[in-house]
Structure 1
Amino acid sequence: MADLDAKLLSISLSRGIFFPSAEIFSNALSGFWDYGPIGLSIQNNVLMLFRRFLKSIDAVEISGANILPRQVMKASGHEAKFFDVVTRCGKCGSLYRVDKLLEGLGISDNVEGLSDDQYRDLLKKNGVKCSKCGTPLEKVEHFYLMFPIMVGDTKESNAYLRPEACQSIFLDFKRVYETSGKKLPLIMSQTGRAFRNEISARESLLRQREFLQSDIEIFFTDDSGFEVDKSAEISFRDGDKDVKLGVDKALEINLIENKVTAFALSNVHKFFTSVGFSSDILRFRKLYSDKAFYSKESFDIEIKKGEDWIEVASCNYRGDYDLSSYKKAGAEVVEVDRKIPSIFEVSIGTDRLIYLLLYNSLMSDSERYWLKLKSSVAPFVSAVFPLLSKKELEDVAEKIVNSSAYSQNIYYLDGGSIGKRYRKGDEIGVPLAFTVDYQTLEDSTVTVRDRDTMKQFRVKMTDIDKVISESMSSDFDSLSKKFNT
């Protein structure tokens, strides 16, 4: 589906959705992307839904520092273990991530987490060669992913840019616990930046060196206080089988092993569907041997992209690993009844989520492309256009915008042909477009056009806000029956 990726990138560049950082310089670094005005509006709307979701599960939100002391990353194990196993061509110097190289060549579906010797044996056994010069690739080495930082008057790095947002939550847990009534379970969340020195940062928002994460950490000592939504049906990937089950059934057959996991999965599933991911492109993949060594139970949330499934979030029952690691390193941690709390984590790649939402929302026909976004996510709730660049029409259009309760969320354009303005609105996902024409001057009605079907009807100017409001929960045909004049 490379063509769809290319078209999405083209639209994003031309409409100000996202684009490479520092692109005006020819030697700009790869793996860094900026959101433009349209993209940031979409991101803000996604995060608004995320925060609404947080409120529904009684979570509290923090904002932690991007730079963390070296002792934190040493205690967490990142300084010693946060690396990719790579192979470097001895002739031309080309560098490859071994697991992705082997998977890309079809040698193995899942080689993540093997030992150096196992990777080395697979390279030799399969005669893997450098794609650029043909030299056999046989040696492996470690490529460390954290960015070291020098803070203050020092000649050595004494801090790191955080490689994941969750560490700030673990660090702040004691303070938030003590100021929140010292009650468990406590659910904490953070949306913030993480930084990883990826070997090959490609695929735009899907793989970056600086990216946005939305993390949720559930602190608890037992799972008795978690109510499970038994009505939630989730698509699971279990080994090589796809199954759709209610959460209660998944618990019953031990596909989900405890109530905390069930609580987290059922609720985060609601968030993903609220953003606009349908059940046929959303699944939860159970991890077994490929889960993190500290995890008691793990699921990856995956979104379909063409024929592939892309990981967009990880869900891990981390136990007391993180807080215990801090304690061993000398940190003061919370204990409840002389027991260190356990943690269940949901870590969402926010930029990945947004990219896959745009990708799966990009529609086309013989005439146009459009983003089929939900009103709650779209950058504007509607557009208002004068039919022509004539003062009498522009004056009425501007009056409509300025008097609307949605005035700060309306897309207004008055240049170019009406067809081109419709296309611009379609390509950024604006659901409705109200057009002021010469009939408007006679009877105070305007044309309203649907983004997805291009159907139209006329509506009274006084009903425009009502149409916008009801469009968030009604289809266009229902709106036409109620408001068509």
Structure 2
Amino acid sequence: MNSHKKRERERERASERASETTPRQHMPITASEGSAGFAAAKPDLDDLIKRRFFYRQAFEIYGGVGGFYTYGPPGAAVKQNLLALWRKHFVIEENLMEVDDTNIMPHDVLLTSGHVERFNDFIVKDSSDGNKFYRADKLLEEVMDARMAEKGLSSEKLVEYEKVKAQADAYSKEQISAVFKQYGIKAPETGADLTEPEEFNLMFATPIGPTGMVQGYLRPETAQGIFLNFKFCLEQNAGVVPFGIAQVGKAFRNEIAPRSGLIRQREFTQAEIEFFVHPEKKAHPKFGDISGLELLLFASDQQLAAQPATRMTLGAAVAAGTVANETLAFFIGRTYLFLVRAGCRPENIRFRQHLPDEMAHYACDCWDAEIEMSLGWVECVGIADRSAFDLTVHSQATGTSLTAQQTLDTPIKIERFCLTKKSLAAIGKHFKKDAKLVTASLSEMSADALKALKATAEAKGVCSLEVEGQSFEISNELLQVESITETQHVEVFTPNVIEPSFGIDRILTAIYEHTFSLRADDSAASEKPADGGDKKKKADKKEGDKVKAGVLALPAEIAPYKCVVLPLDQRVVAQYGNLLAMARAGLAENGLQYKVDESGASIGRRYARADELGIPYAITIDFDSLDGGSLVGTATLRERDSTQQVRLPLADIPAIIAKLSSSHQLTWEDVLASYSTGGTSSSSAGVAAAGDKLDYLRKHAVAATLNDAVNALAETQPEDPIAWLSAHLASMKSQ
């Protein structure tokens, strides 16, 4: 590489790094106090994330390139556990299929899907420095946020700025150019004029094969691989619709100005579902399960009127037409439940409807799950009714039938307007080599289009047919049509699709912000970072004589390690090795990720290390575990969030942690209650008192029976409720 090219490369990298790290964003005026709270805690969180290597900028030792990140051991584990939870919540619980398609796609596929022509963002450049460039809609949003934050702003101006911000990514090239001029928007760093907006295609192009003659792209989304394999998955589903297909994998977008960590990357992980339904049957059999769920909904008319979002049940939203159909609403509800289960705070989740100009022309309705973070409300999941667009265009481009069919309960008679057999034969003879092209076009015409063509031929004696850029003159004599009545027993249709699309990395960012906190602990001083780190931040964490220790309260299901094993006695004794081997074997047998911390640090500091990593449980093997009379073979189990501890047989602990780290109903409170003083003498007694007790109650429907009885008691309201309840339960048992 010559020196000129090397300098150009260095300038380009410097520009990208600056665009990623320059703190130009203002706190959105529409954000709540929660967003400000996340922003205040973010410096400490960022320090923890980097120091404990949850993730760091990729290629860091080479200076890094904007938009690429590497997940370290704890971060990779959290991400994989989140994906496992996603599969459990959607693929397993909703009985979906799953495919794994390629990361590289040929040009024709993405040309048909519209990505080659329309997968663009508008870019503007600093007229004084061509190396400074900005994504136009995001720059506009930032400018509107800054102006809404100005003191003394009138309510009229506030509404005006809110409306402009809401429509930022819906403006056309001409519209956004006019808006920039109207508000005198300049380059943020220099104050220079900005260039006119230009379209910038976000796909990474790559040649395929040794000659490079086959054009390909890194896929910009995982969805297209599902549509291309719809036909084969439908066959595996015995031709039954509705059904869903999922795919999890990497997607690639050449972002104009990546920044904000994992929020806007050039390589990221998507988890998408395409749920195929009959176009006129979008009710969902499980809608009743979530219809009473009350969510914060931000409808398009509220956005355009600069009104706040409102709380509404999904049942009411569908009934009012706010959400287009039950299946779309069902996945909105399931998405909310997943986000909460993964660790997002319910009060910081809302669903925003796409504006009319923002929505794709083929879409029926689209909603984004937005999560409030330090940056304000951030889109993390898109849930769209994409109608039949994708299957239709791929079918037309390839000549492959991408339809489904179902037997009609009652056969129907339909009237079909078509060419006569005599006309088809005459057209074949007349057009010869073009006959197939002409007859195929005429056969695919709707009844109304064919009638209009025939009317033209009758009026003028001839009509013109345009097919694939060619024009064919057809005489009235050749164009003979007829009306045929047929009995239809099977309906053939192109399914519509409901698409929930999850940005996994963005959701991870929200989880880290929502679960992070600081708490005082005398012995919780953090470890020094390997690279010397930000030493000033350590001092900033002090509050009086207390050190503010970072805690990630990650749900146990996605925590990187389910527990940490801590020996309190640092002496090397045979009994410790045996107990540690027992713990390791039990944890591995239950499929649990764990760490062992045998460092010489105090127990408090080792707890703090585990809390920083989000580890929910700590097993401490102490003096009593080794030589404590009746307590030999026991250990203490500590819970991260409450910091409470309980002593129990070491042999019991792995199975208990496995239940606590899954969807099992066993809770930490159950463990505390079961292993009270004196409850550690028998391993089998402890397990029966905890997890098996709950299994017993469910087996005999005790909770449901008592609930029914109490409801009946409330309706009857007898003078002696206890006597009535006893008699009622006895009568229920005899039935």
TM-score, L = length of structure 2: 0.63
> What are the equivalent positions in structure 2 for 1:56-455 lying under 5 Å apart?
56-93=93-130, 94-106=132-144, 108-110=164-166, 111-155=168-212, 158-221=215-278, 222-223=280-281, 226-227=284-285, 228=287, 229=289, 230-238=291-299, 239=302, 240-289=307-356, 290-306=358-374, 308-336=376-404, 337-366=491-520, 367-392=548-573, 394-404=576-586, 405-406=589-590, 408-417=592-601, 418-441=603-626, 442=628, 443-444=631-632, 445-455=634-644
Q: What is the match of residue 35 of structure 2?
A: none
Q: What is the match of residue 68 of structure 2?
A: 32
Contact 1:186 1:219 in 2 (8 A): yes
Distance 1:466 1:172, change over 3 A: closer
Q: What is the match of residue 674 of structure 2?
A: 482
Contact 2:41 2:517 in 1 (8 A): no
Deviations 1:97-138 (A, max 9, x none): 111111101153221121111111111121111123221125
Deviations 1:371-404 (A, max 9, x none): 1111111122221100143212752552342231
Distance 1:260 1:60, change over 3 A: same
Contact 1:223 1:258 in 2 (8 A): no
Distance 1:155 1:383 in 2: 52
Contact 1:285 1:299 in 2 (8 A): yes
| Structure 2: gaps of 5 or more residues | 1-37, 145-160, 405-490, 521-547, 678-735
Distance 2:59 2:118 in 1: 32
Residue type matched to 2:247 in 1? Q
Give RMSD over aligned pairs: 2.1
Contact 2:562 2:657 in 1 (8 A): yes
> Displacement of 1:344 after TM fit?
1.1
Contact 1:193 1:212 in 2 (8 A): yes
Distance 1:137 1:270 in 2: 44
Contact 1:471 1:479 in 2 (8 A): no
Distance 1:145 1:139 in 2: 18
> Displacement of 1:257 after TM fit?
1.8
Distance 1:307 1:19 in 2: 19
Residue type matched to 1:235 in 2? L
Q: What is the match of residue 55 of structure 1?
A: 92
Distance 1:35 1:484 in 2: 41
Within the candidate set 643, 649, 653, 1:464 is matched to 653
Distance 1:132 1:126 in 2: 17
Distance 1:466 1:56, change over 3 A: closer
Secondary structure at the counterpart of residue 654 of structure 2: helix
Deviations 1:324-350 (A, max 9, x none): 222332341312334321111000001
> Displacement of 1:470 after TM fit?
5.1
Residue type matched to 1:437 in 2? D
> Displacement of 1:410 after TM fit?
2.2
TM-score, L = length of structure 1: 0.94
Contact 1:149 1:158 in 2 (8 A): yes
Distance 1:465 1:403 in 2: 9
Which of the pair is proportionally richer in helix? 2
> Displacement of 1:6 after TM fit?
3.2
Contact 2:617 2:640 in 1 (8 A): yes
Secondary structure at the counterpart of residue 129 of structure 2: coil
Contact 2:222 2:247 in 1 (8 A): yes
Distance 2:399 2:73 in 1: 42
Contact 1:194 1:213 in 2 (8 A): yes
> Displacement of 1:475 after TM fit?
4.8
Distance 2:120 2:84 in 1: 34
> Displacement of 1:85 after TM fit?
0.6
Residue type matched to 1:298 in 2? C
Distance 2:214 2:177 in 1: 32
Distance 1:407 1:388 in 2: 27
Secondary structure at the counterpart of residue 641 of structure 2: coil
Distance 1:129 1:156, change over 3 A: farther
Contact 2:67 2:264 in 1 (8 A): yes
Deviations 1:425-462 (A, max 9, x none): 10111111111121221222322222112222322323
Distance 1:48 1:407, change over 3 A: closer
Q: What is the match of residue 525 of structure 2?
A: none
Residue type matched to 1:42 in 2? V
> What are the equivalent positions in structure 2 for 1:8-27 lying under 5 Å apart?
8-26=45-63
Distance 1:138 1:150 in 2: 31
Residue type matched to 1:435 in 2? T
> Displacement of 1:70 after TM fit?
0.1
> Displacement of 1:254 after TM fit?
1.3
Distance 1:459 1:23 in 2: 46
Distance 1:447 1:178 in 2: 54
Contact 1:124 1:138 in 2 (8 A): no
Secondary structure at the counterpart of residue 368 of structure 2: strand
> Displacement of 1:199 after TM fit?
1.0
Secondary structure at the counterpart of residue 175 of structure 1: helix
Distance 1:462 1:401, change over 3 A: closer
Residue type matched to 2:77 in 1? S
Deviations 1:246-277 (A, max 9, x none): 22211111111212212222222332232222
Q: What is the match of residue 702 of structure 2?
A: none
